[in-house]
Amino acid sequence: MKKRLLLVALLLAVIGGAVGLYFYNLKMPSMATQEADLEISASALYEAFDTDEHSANTRYLGKILAVQGQVRQAQVLPDGTIKVVLETGRDFGILCEFDPNTSHARTTFEPGETVTLKGECAGLNFDVLLSRCAVVEE
Using CB under 8 A, list all residues that contact another protein.
23-29, 57, 61-62, 77, 79, 81, 83, 91, 95, 97, 100, 120-127, 129, 131-132
Nearer to another protein, 42 or 97 (CB): 97
Smallest distance, Å, CB 2 to another protein? 31
Smallest distance, Å, CB 5 to another protein? 28
Nearer to another protein, 7 or 16 (CB): 16
Nearer to another protein, 91 or 110 (CB): 91
Q: Residue 125: is it exposed, middle or buried by C-beta count within 10 angstroms (0-12/13-18/19+)?
A: exposed
- Candidates 114, 136, 128; CA nearest to 50 is 128
- Candidates 110, 128, 130, 109; CA nearest to 119 is 130
Residue type, 4: R
